Structure 1
Amino acid sequence: MTALTLPAYAQLSDADEVALSDLFRRGTPPNTLRAWERDLAYIAAWKMAAFGRPLAWPEEEKVALRFILDHAQDLAGKPGPAQDVAQELIAIGLRVALACPAPATLDRRIASWQAFHRMRNLASPFAAPLVQQARQKARRANARPHAPKSPRPVTRDMLESLLATCDDSHRGIRDRAMLMLAFASGGRRRSEVTALNVEDIGRDDFRAKGLLWVRLLETKTTRKDQAPKLPLKGRAARAVMHWLEVTGLREGPLFRPVSKSDRPLPRRLASDALRTILRHRLRSAGLPEDYATPHGLRAGFLTQAALDGAPLAAAMKLSLHRSAVQAQKYYADVEISENPATDLLGD
């Protein structure tokens, strides 16, 4: 597949590149930067198609309002300026369909637009009362049931089924260590697992306590100067140590590709490798490869913590959730199913 070539007006200008290269670029996680760049390309293309002009800084309120209105309705079967703009965006590969985008997608693009205003120390047009009101109404009008990031949480029983497919080859030893670390250290995101280096695994307490310390240099909720150290115990710690012992790794990427001849290669796994590995293990366990996603390991950790009666605050210290409301959702699903009121009619 050839790379998509965007028209000039959908690409970052020199001024935008300068803004991204300053404090925001150095102090923002790479995934967030990539999302900002994609969203700004979309917004710039949309404004050129809708108004025939490039983005302005600060942007006009009428432009912000039109952006909300154009993205708060299903444009299929509705000929007009909004549909014409959407068709142009579809033609250059920046929009998929005429259907109304999910409210979360609209919120993310607006958040990116606001972030670029903050970079320039400018007031955002989305702070205007009329624009805020339109945004709230659009969110309510297009609200959708929450779709989980994984069809199912990977709780302990499912994880055990996956681990049972891991043999004693280098690939099996690696996959076992990755899956156990991702689950047992608090439900790590896939990018956090593949970003780990050998130097991030503290082994001083392993011989005496069977304990490893996993240092996360950067996560979605922490910065490099806040790098948390998370404990890894028992079988999970032994699995990681086994991987280190059989490979003899001393530095560099912790988890690496394994060749067809079962030889670890001297490079880092791709950031999405955990998804590929999970799909392979699901198939090997006799399950559909879309039975769960890597986020299922994170959801599974919190769900299992709730099933085992671990306090929410204790689980959050490992998962590194900043929002108790977000983490509580996993506990709420368990608690309501165990509520005695659900058994009022008996079996």
Structure 2
Amino acid sequence: MTIERYLHASERANTRRSYQGAVRHFEVEWGGFLPATADSIASYLAHYADTLAINTLQQRLAALAQWHADQGFADPTKSPLVRKVLKGIRTLHPAQEKQARPLQLEQLRAVVNWLDAAAAGAEPAAKLRHLRDKALLLLGFWRGFRGDELTRLRVEHVQAVAGKGMTCFLPYSKGDRQARGKTFKAPALASLCPVDAYLDWVGAAGLRDGPVFRGVDRWGNVSPVGLHINSLVPLLRAVFSAAAVPFADEYSSHSLRRGFANWASSSGWDLKTLMEYVGWRDVHSAMRYVEAADPFKSLPAI
């Protein structure tokens, strides 16, 4: 029982749920059998080649590979047949990678101004939600947190001092493969301050420990459990829509991370500093978030 407990803790909850869903899709929805053969894996890929994105298919393969490794079977996903089928799918079904629209600083300011105005005349429950959303937005942007990092943040792991700054400790994160934990710092700012927003939210909600970001019901009761990762995108899009931000349905939690990366890059941060601040381990990960400068922008109109 103790071994199973530690094995369970070694996996990220999101990855575990995703892999379980992928294995269930292979067995239940497609009707495959486990352990699988290379032929059945190849047939599975071919069946969904024109309906599922290549990234989704690769995630399904990773889940099936993990299942076979856990059960002590040979991994059929590494066979030459499967590799060739996957290469053929990439060739015949090319798709441009979809990325979340980055949240620009002026848009962040507009949303925060709307939240402040809405909170000023709101009922207690709505005011609490506006304070929470403001803290989530500002901390997510200025710290470049992933969505799951925001939902896993705990009050006892945050130290915040008004006018000074704050530190956020995460016991594990995507880039922390050894699960040693990492402390992230966030600045106190003259405007759009994540420190003040955090202190206002936890103070109004009366939080002393547990998850930082939680649900608030219609009567103003704050949930004892944190927001679910799947609720984050609908929450952000609803706030952006209410604040009249164009293309609100194109934003996600990655929009905060991409928005900060673009702001930092345009403000003169070098790539090494940005990678260390956000926590990227390699250049390729960082470049997925930073938009390249337009080389023709400075040219005169023709």
Matched AA of 2:172: E
Contact 1:165 1:281 in 2 (8 A): no
**Residues 248 and 61 of structure 1: CA distance in aligned 2, closer, same or farther (over 3 Å):** closer
Matched AA of 1:31: N
1:291-306 mapped onto 2 (5 Å cutoff):
291-306=250-265
Contact 1:47 1:55 in 2 (8 A): no
Cα shift at 1:41: 1.1
Q: Which runs of 5 or more structure 2 residues have no equivalent in the other structure?
A: 121-126
Moved over 4 A (4+): 21-24, 341-345
Cα shift at 1:312: 1.8
Are 1:278 and 2:236 an aligned pair?
yes
**Residues 47 and 280 of structure 1: CA distance in aligned 2, closer, same or farther (over 3 Å):** closer
Q: Equivalent of 1:210, from 136, 146, 164?
A: 164
Cα shift at 1:70: 2.7
1:8-157 mapped onto 2 (5 Å cutoff):
24-45=7-28, 48=31, 54-56=33-35, 59-72=36-49, 74=50, 100-148=51-99, 150=100, 152-157=101-106
Cα shift at 1:198: 0.9
Q: Equivalent of 2:213, from 255, 259, 276?
A: 255
Cα shift at 1:23: 6.1
More deviation in 214-223 or 102-111? 214-223
Cα shift at 1:224: 7.8
Q: Matched residue of 1:330: which SS?
A: coil
Rg larger for: 1
**Partners of 1:262 and 1:289 in 2: how far apart?**
26
Contact 1:215 1:229 in 2 (8 A): yes
Q: Which residue of 1 aligns with 2:123?
A: none
Q: Which residue of 2 aligns with 1:80?
A: none
Q: TM-score, normalised by structure 1?
A: 0.74
**Partners of 1:47 and 1:330 in 2: how far apart?**
35
**Partners of 1:223 and 1:130 in 2: how far apart?**
31
**Partners of 1:55 and 1:293 in 2: how far apart?**
35
Contact 2:257 2:289 in 1 (8 A): no
Q: Matched residue of 1:277: which SS?
A: helix
Residue by residue, what CA displacement relative to the aligned partner does 1:194-252 show, whole Å, maximum 9, x if unpaired?
Answer: 2221101024xx36x61210112232332583211110111111221222333332212
Q: Equivalent of 1:329, from 277, 288, 293?
A: 288
Cα shift at 1:262: 4.1
Residue by residue, what CA displacement relative to the aligned partner does 1:251-288 show, whole Å, maximum 9, x if unpaired?
Answer: 12222323434454444333334334322321232235
**Partners of 2:196 and 2:5 in 1: how far apart?**
42
Residue by residue, what CA displacement relative to the aligned partner does 1:304-346 show, whole Å, maximum 9, x if unpaired?
Answer: 1111121122222232233321211333x232x1x2x455563
Identity of aligned residues (%): 24
Q: Equivalent of 1:164, from 113, 121, 126?
A: 113
Cα shift at 1:163: 0.4
Contact 2:39 2:81 in 1 (8 A): no
Contact 1:306 1:330 in 2 (8 A): no
Q: Equivalent of 1:191, from 125, 145, 148?
A: 148
Q: Which residue of 1 aligns with 2:124?
A: none
Q: Matched residue of 1:164: which SS?
A: helix
Q: Matched residue of 1:257: which SS?
A: strand
Are 1:242 and 2:191 an aligned pair?
no
Q: Which runs of 5 or more structure 1 residues have no equivalent in the other structure?
A: 1-17, 75-99
**Partners of 1:47 and 1:273 in 2: how far apart?**
28
Q: TM-score, normalised by structure 2?
A: 0.84
**Partners of 2:22 and 2:39 in 1: how far apart?**
19
Are 1:232 and 2:186 an aligned pair?
yes
More deviation in 117-126 or 153-162? 117-126
Which is strand-richer, 1 or 2?
2
Matched AA of 2:240: L
1:313-324 mapped onto 2 (5 Å cutoff):
313-324=272-283
**Partners of 1:23 and 1:143 in 2: how far apart?**
40
**Partners of 2:131 and 2:210 in 1: how far apart?**
18
Matched AA of 2:97: H
Q: Which residue of 2 aligns with 1:94?
A: none
Q: Which residue of 2 aligns with 1:312?
A: 271
Cα shift at 1:290: 1.1
